[in-house]
Structure 1
Amino acid sequence: MASEPATAELTAGDLVELDVGPVAHGGFCVARHEGRVVFVRHTLPGERIRAQVTEARPGHRFARADCVEVLTPSPHRVPAPCPYAGPGLCGGCDWQHADLAYQRELKAAVVREQFTRLAGIEVDVQVEPVPGDHDGLGWRTRVEFAVDTSGRAGLREHRSHAVVPVQTCLISDPRVLATGVLTGDWSGHDAVDVVAPSAGDPVTVPLPASPDAVPTVTEHLAGQRYSADFEVAARGFWQVHPGAAATFVDTVLDLLDPQPGETALDLYAGVGLFAAALASAVGDAGRVVAVESDASAVACAAGNLAAYPSVVAVRARVDDAFGVPRASRSGPAPRRAQRPRKLRRHPLMPLRADLVVLDPPRTGAGRGVVAQVTALEPRAVAYVACDPAALARDTAYLREGGYHLRELRAFDAFPMTAHLECIAVFGR
C-alpha cells in the first residue's frame, strides 16, 4: 500500500508563497503548501500571495495564515476603505479588499458548497443586497466595543482577545460613532455596547451590566406586508442591519403565504417579530404559538404581542417545549450510553400546525427539534439562518422527515464580513 505523501511542517511566523484556491466558510480562502491545507485571510481566489502563518500545530492537517503581500492580484481586489482592515488589525471585517458584488459571489459560493457537502443537494442561489447601507458601509446599528487596559474602546483582532484601538468603524451606523464611544474613558469596564435603534436616540451600555440596568429601545418595522413597533432590550437580539428585519419578515410572509384561520408555530421567537406578523395574517380565527427561552426577550414579547389574542407564548427552550431528550439534540449518538432525562411536551405546544418558522441561533435547530417539526406535518416550514452550514445540516434532517427544499434565498445583511442570512422554505 502506498504511503500518503508527507505534508510540510509549518510554524507560526513562517512566510510562504501560495496559489490561492476557492473561498471557504468563515472568511478564508483555501491554499496548499507542500500538501498541507492553509486557510488564508485577506486574499481572494486566484491570487498568488506571500502569507505569514498565524496558527500551526504539529500533526494537524491544516494551518491558518494572513496574506501579507499580493504577488498576482485578483481583478476583484480593491483598496480596503477602512485603515483597520488587514493582518494583525481589526478582525471584524473579512472582505473589505473585495468589491461588493464579488463579496456576494463569494458568499453564494460558500452557501452552495455547504449544501453540497452537508445536505447532499445542489442549490442555485444569489446573495441579494439589503436596503439601508451605503455601498456596504454605515449599516451596523448594534456594536459591542472591547475596552483595553487604558480604558479606551476598540475592536478585537481576529481569533484574539487583543484590543485594537480605533478612531472609527466604517461599517457602524454613524449614530453609533456620534455617541463618542471611541473617545470616552471606559476604565473599569470590560466592554461597551452601543445601540442606534430605528426610533429614538442611541443608547450606550457599559459592560458588565445587570439585567435590570439594561434599558429597552423601540425598533420600527416598516415592511411591505407588515409594519409595527417592537420593544427590544438594548442588549437583546434584533437584526443589526437597518433593512434586515423588514426584508426577512416580508420574505417569510411571501414564502409561507399564511391564511386566515391557520395555526402557526414560531420557534426561537425572540421579541415576537415573526409571531406578530403571522398573527396579523392568520387573524383572530387562527393561532400562533411563540416559543422563546431568553427572559428579556420574553418580557418584551409580552408587550409586543399583547394586541394579538391569537398568540400563545411559551417560555421555554425549544427542545424542552417539544420534550426532546438531551442526548438526541445534536444529532450523533453519544459515545457512552446515557439515560435520557425524561421531559414532557409543553401542554401549549400544538400536535399539528399548518406553518412553522424556525429562527434558531448560529448552531441551528438540530436533529431532535427538526424531527418534532416534521411530526407536526406543516404544509410549509420557513427557516431563517445566520449560518449556512447549520442550515444545510438541518436541511438534511428535514429531508429525512419527508420535506424538500422548495426555495432558498440569501441576503447580504452583513456587508464586508463573511456573514450572511439565508431564508429557506420547505414543503412536504
Structure 2
Amino acid sequence: MTTVATAVGEIIGPLSVGPIAHGGHCIARHEGRVIFVRHTIPGETVMVRITDDSHERYWRGDAVEVLDAAPGRVEPPCPIAGLCGGCDFQHIAPAVQRELKTTVVRELLHQFAHLDSDVTVERVGTDDSGQDWRTRMRYGVHDGKVGLHVHRSADLVGLAPQGCLIAEKAGRDPKMLDSLAGQVHGDELIVATAASGVCVIDSGRTLMGEAVVTEQVGTHSFRARADGFWQPHRLAPGLLTSQMLLALDPRPGEHALDLYCGVGVFAAALDDAGCRVRGIEMDGPAIRLARTNVPRAQFVAGRVDRVLSRGRHRADLVVLDPPRAGAGKRAVDQIAGLRPRRIAYVACDPAALARDLASFARHDYSVTNIKGFDLFPMTHHVECVATLEPTR
C-alpha cells in the first residue's frame, strides 16, 4: 500500500504575514506556495500549523505562535476563540477589524467590478466590544452536550463558561442549552433571541418558546419563524431599512419590487412611503408571514429569476437582499430589463456583490453610492448597501 505524504499537522516558519484576504485569513508564502493563515494580522511573523494540504497551489494553516505581533493584536475575550470556527477576528481590536474589512471590500470591488471605491466599513451602534449582538445561533449537539463547530470541520468544541460572547445574553446560557440537549433528536439546536422572547428549535421541534416569534423594526411588528431568515445583528433590520430608503428615495405611487423579501421588512417601509409594493421570495412560509406583516403589498413565492421571467412586472424601484452567493447573472438580467430608476443592493458577501455589480454595469447601471457596515463584528463578514442608477 502506498502512503501519501502529508504536511497536515506540521509546524512551519517563521513566516512573514502578507495582506488580508477575503474569508478571514491572511496570505503568507512558504517555499513559493501560498498559505492562507488564520488567527494572524498583516505584518506579523508567526509559526503556522498546516491544517489542509489538499490543494496543489495553496495550503491552509493556523498561526500557533506569534513571534512579532502587529499593532492591533489583543487578547481574545473568549477562551475558545482559536478553536471555534465562528469568530475569525477576536485577536484583533475592533477598529482594526474594520480597517481590514475595508481593505477587503475595496479590493474585491476593484478586482471583480473594476470600481475604485473609497467605501469605509463603519462601526454600528455605541458598543464597540464586538459582543452581545447576534440574535440567531446554530449550535451543534453531541452526546448530550452543546458546542460550536471547529473551522471547516464537523467536530465540536464545548462552550466557554459564559457561552458564546457574540450571542445575545438572553439566549446563550450554556446551562440552559445543555438542559435542553437531552431532548434533541438531531445534531443541531437553533436559538432565536427575539423581541418576544427566546425560542429553541431542534429538527423543526420547538423545545422552548414559540416557533413564530415577533420582531420590532421601528413602529412595525413582524412575525418571523425562529428558524427562518432574520438579520442576525440586533441593529441590522432598522439600519438597513433606513439605508435602503436613503438609496431609493421612494415617491408615492411608484412601483417597487422587494426581491428576496423574507417576511417583508423592506416592503413595509416602502409601503409606508406610498409605493405599490410586490415582494418575491422562494421561502413559502416566509411569504405567508409577509402577507400578514404587510397586508397592502403583494407577495409571490418562487425563485426571483424565474418569477421575474414570467408575466409583466413594473418597477420604478428595486431592493434586493440575496443570499450569500449573490443574485447571479440571470436575476441581474431580469432586474435590469425592467429599467428601474434606482436599485438598492443589500449584500452580506462583498465578492458576490462585486460580481453582480459588474453584471449590472453591462446593462448600463452604475454605482452612485456604496456603504459598508460592521454588522458581523469579530468575524470576517461585512454588510454593504450599494445604490445603482441607469447611465442612459
* Shorter-chain TM-score range: over 0.9
2:124 and 2:373 in contact (8 A); partners too: yes
Residue of structure 2 aligned with 1:177, choices 172, 186, 190: 172
CA distance in 1, matches of 2:344, 2:75: 38
1:190 and 1:208 in contact (8 A); partners too: no
Question: Which residue matches 2:105?
Answer: 111
Question: Which residue matches 1:91?
Answer: 85
Q: Which amino acid aligns with 2:328?
A: G
The alpha-carbon deviation at position 178 of structure 1 amounts to 4.0
1:126 and 1:410 in contact (8 A); partners too: yes
CA distance in 2, matches of 1:127, 1:15: 34
Question: Which residue matches 2:58?
Answer: 62
1:176 and 1:195 in contact (8 A); partners too: yes
Structure 1 segment 278-317 matched on structure 2, within 5 A: 278-281=270-273, 283=274, 286-306=275-295, 308=296, 311-317=297-303
Q: Does 1:15 align with 2:38?
A: no
Secondary structure, aligned partner of 1:271: coil
The alpha-carbon deviation at position 293 of structure 1 amounts to 1.1
Secondary structure, aligned partner of 1:184: helix
Secondary structure, aligned partner of 2:103: helix
CA distance in 2, matches of 1:66, 1:96: 14
1:191 and 1:208 in contact (8 A); partners too: no
2:262 and 2:287 in contact (8 A); partners too: yes
Q: Which amino acid aligns with 1:66?
A: D
* RMSD value, Cα: 1.7
1:178–1:66 Cα change, 3 Å? closer
1:161–1:179 Cα change, 3 Å? closer
Moved over 4 A (4+): none
Structure 1 segment 129-208 matched on structure 2, within 5 A: 129-131=123-125, 133=127, 135-148=129-142, 150-166=143-159, 167=161, 168-178=163-173, 180-187=175-182, 188-197=185-194, 199-208=195-204
Secondary structure, aligned partner of 2:181: coil
Question: Which residue matches 1:233?
Answer: 225
1:216–1:258 Cα change, 3 Å? same
1:141 and 1:173 in contact (8 A); partners too: yes
Q: How many pairs are equivalent?
A: 379
Q: Which amino acid aligns with 1:142?
A: R
The alpha-carbon deviation at position 402 of structure 1 amounts to 0.3
CA distance in 1, matches of 2:281, 2:64: 45
- Structure 2 length-normalised TM: 0.93
Structure 2, unpaired ranges of 5+ = none
Q: Which amino acid aligns with 1:299?
A: R
1:383 and 1:424 in contact (8 A); partners too: yes
CA distance in 2, matches of 1:290, 1:185: 37
Question: Which residue matches 1:331?
Answer: none
Q: Which amino acid aligns with 2:88?
A: D
Question: Which residue matches 1:328?
Answer: none
Q: Does 1:243 align with 2:243?
A: no
Q: Which amino acid aligns with 1:423?
A: V
Question: Which residue matches 1:77?
Answer: 73
Q: Which amino acid aligns with 2:181?
A: W
Structure 1, unpaired ranges of 5+ = 1-8, 324-344
Identity within the alignment, %: 46
CA distance in 2, matches of 1:305, 1:295: 15
2:199 and 2:210 in contact (8 A); partners too: no
Q: Does 1:386 align with 2:348?
A: yes
Secondary structure, aligned partner of 1:393: helix
